[in-house]
Amino acid sequence: MAVRKQTGKEGEAFAVRYLKKKGYRIMASNYRTPLGEIDIVARDGDTIVFVEVKTRRSLSRGDPLEAVTGHKRRRLKMLALYYLKSNNMGDARGRFDVIGLRARDGTFHVQHVVDAFEV
């Protein structure tokens, strides 16, 4: 497996553990749709949270949070609607969180943006 892909998988696994420690209930990880993939779907109280995880080993390609561009946000909104409709949750309250991870010295530095952008 390529280093970049491996870094992403490690970051997503770390993000799942991080969210569980914060009290989120993980509903799906790497949820695949015909339109693309949602990294993590979780429940925070009565809110369905769609989480995008970006992991970097260095900042040469920019800050992890900067990777969630306008195009990526629009795509995530479509994926979230697909998830909600497919699971008969059309009236559920939802939000988008972004977790930026920077891998350093065998651990991750976490930036968690709650309600990162509007639906």
Domain ranges of the chain: 3-64+92-117
Q: How many CB atoms lie within 10 A of CB 31?
A: 19
pLDDT at 81: 94
What dotted CATH number matches 3-64+92-117?
3.40.1350.10
- pLDDT the model gives residue 28: 97
Token pair of 32, please?
């695949």
pLDDT of residue 1: 56
**How far is Cα of residue 22 from the mean position of the Cα atoms in its chain?**
15
Block means of pLDDT (10 residues each) for the chain, 119 residues, are: 71 96 97 94 97 84 81 94 93 94 87 89
